[in-house]
Each structure stands twice: as C-alpha cells, then as structure tokens.
Amino acid sequence: MNLYNKQKAVRVSKTLDLLVPVLSLQLSNTAILHQIRRDQVTDTCRANSVSSRKRRVLTPNDLKHLVVDEDHEMIYCYVPKVACTNWKRVMMVLTGRGKYSDPMEIPANEAHVSSNLKTLNQYSIPEINHRLKNYMKFLFVREPFERLVSAYRNKFTQKYNTSFHKRYGTKIVRRQRKNATQEALRKGDDVKFEEFVAYLIDPHTQREEPFNEHWQTVYSLCHPCHIHYDLIGKYETLEEDSNYILQLAGVGSYLKFPTYAKSTRTTDEMTTEFFQNISSEHQTQLYEVYKLDFLMFNYSVPSYLKLE
C-alpha cells in the first residue's frame, strides 16, 4: 500500500509524523494546492454538464491512456506534449521490478512501445472499477495553446516525422491550401501553422475521426469528469509536482523525476508569435475547441488572443 492510500485509510499517517516540520508544512501546502485543482475540475464539470443528464459510460477504448502500476497502486493518464515520455520512463522503472533503475537510460522510443506498460483497458470491468476506486490516479496538464504549438512544431516542422506528414500533412494541404503544388500534396511536409489551425476548426475534421492524441484535448484523453483524479500536476511546476507524487507513492527516497534541458521547449513567447498570423475568427473558433481544458485546469485566456 502506497503512502497515499495509507493517508486515505488513516487521517494522520505515521509516516507523516516522522517527517520534519518544514517538510510537513510543504506537504500540507502542496496537498491544499492539489485540492484546489481538483475542486476546479469538479466545478467546471458541473458547470458544463448539460451532457451529464445522459452521462455516457466509459468504454475500454476510453481508458487506453491510463497506465497502471500494480506494485505501487498508481494510475497515470498520459497526455502527449506534457512530459509524457519522461513519465512513461518513470512508470517503466516503477513497474519493471528491478529491470530499470535510471529513467533516462531508457531510450525515448522504447518508452512509447505499448507493450512496455500496462494500460487500464487491458483489465476486466470489475478489475477496472476496483483500480479506479482504490488506486492513486494522476495526470499532468499544460497551457492548451502552448501544448498545441509544441505538437505542431514537433510533428510538422521536423523532417523526420514523415508518418505525420503523410497521414495528416497531405490531408491538411489538400483541404486548406489553394493551388498547392503536386510535391506539397504528395509529401505534406511544409504545413503552415495557419493551415493546421484551419484543419482543427474545420467541422469536417471533427466528423471524420477523433483528433490525434498529440492535439486531442486533455478532457477527451483522460475523462476528468468521469474519473476522479487525486492529483493534477502541471507542466509549469513539473518537477515539484512529479516528485511530490513519487513521495506519496513511497518511492521518493530513491527515485526522482528526471530534469532535462529546456532549450528547445515551446514557450509562451513562442506561442504568441505563432498566433500572430491567426485571424481573430479562427482564434475564437480554436479557443472554443480547447475551452474546457482552459477552464478545467485554470488557465486564463492568453493575452495575445483577439477573441471575437
């Protein structure tokens, strides 16, 4: 049983009694912060729950982003472009039973091999319900448009991402670019951000198929109105939140969340630049697509937006 579940069972955990007062204060302040974040999600779900009258039941397909760690009784919902590679590495260390000790020794591509981690959709319905009720559940979120620009930069401006260029780039160019060259239609490797935005807000896109996970909303990937997350970490406070979760899991003494260079990271300033050429009409439509993520995770409307 991890520290989190001990705290649930016994209000004042003996483990917490042993911590020095300063650390106890830090923990209690962090616990309050996560309670505020949980309340924000609950309030947003309630305020936007016209659909909850016909509340749909989650299907196994809805649970494929929830990674399960049996040994430490944890469930992590991964969101692409929110440090999910490093969190998957950490989960591999936790579930590997000694196979791995240093998350950063695990190659990034190996962290994304689905068979290396067990997801909740692989369990029976009673097993799923038991784990959702009893395990510590957490996810990490990021400012929605910063995450979107990060996804665009990674998937459409890097020459090596040919599978994305073929699958999505060619489609975007075909739909959004007048007088596209034959080469652009064939390769799809020069998609402009304005074209990407136009593709996202196009009603045809929404009807055709679900968004790719890299630009899908957190609301749709992790179902926070149906699943009660105990901890909501933020990309903006990634290390503190991650190490707090590892501490609650009882592994903080020997496992720390990897720090990494942020030189190529998408920043708020960069995001502002990308949105300079987006019309106010398109900005407004795009905000509507991601509005629940903004509200649910307490991100204010960006100052650079010109909403209609």
Q: What is the pLDDT along the chain (308 residues), one digit of tens a residue?
A: 666 665 555 433 444 454 555 556 666 888 999 999 999 999 999 998 755 445 568 888 899 999 999 999 999 999 999 999 999 999 999 999 889 999 999 999 999 999 999 999 999 999 999 999 999 999 999 999 999 999 999 999 999 899 999 999 999 999 999 999 999 999 999 999 999 999 999 999 989 989 999 999 999 999 999 999 999 999 999 999 999 999 999 999 999 999 876 667 888 899 999 999 999 999 999 999 999 999 999 999 999 999 88
Nearest to 71 by CA among 124, 7, 5, 11: 5
Whose structure tokens read 């998937």? Answer: 155
Q: Considering the domain boundaries, does residue 286 fall inside one?
A: yes
C-alpha separations of 191 from 55, 69, 181, 194, 283 in Å: 38, 39, 12, 8, 18
Q: Considering the domain boundaries, does residue 208 fall inside one?
A: yes
Q: Considering the domain boundaries, does residue 280 fall inside one?
A: yes
Q: Considering the domain boundaries, does residue 288 fall inside one?
A: yes
Name the pTM for this structure.
Answer: 0.89
- As for how many domains the chain has, the answer is 1
Which helix (DSSP H) or strand (DSSP E) does residue 108 occupy?
A: helix 108-111
C-alpha separations of 56 from 10, 50, 223 in Å: 34, 12, 11
Cβ(85)–Cβ(106) under 8 Å? no
Q: Considering the domain boundaries, does residue 168 fall inside one?
A: yes
For residue 291, the enclosing domain spans: 145-214+266-297
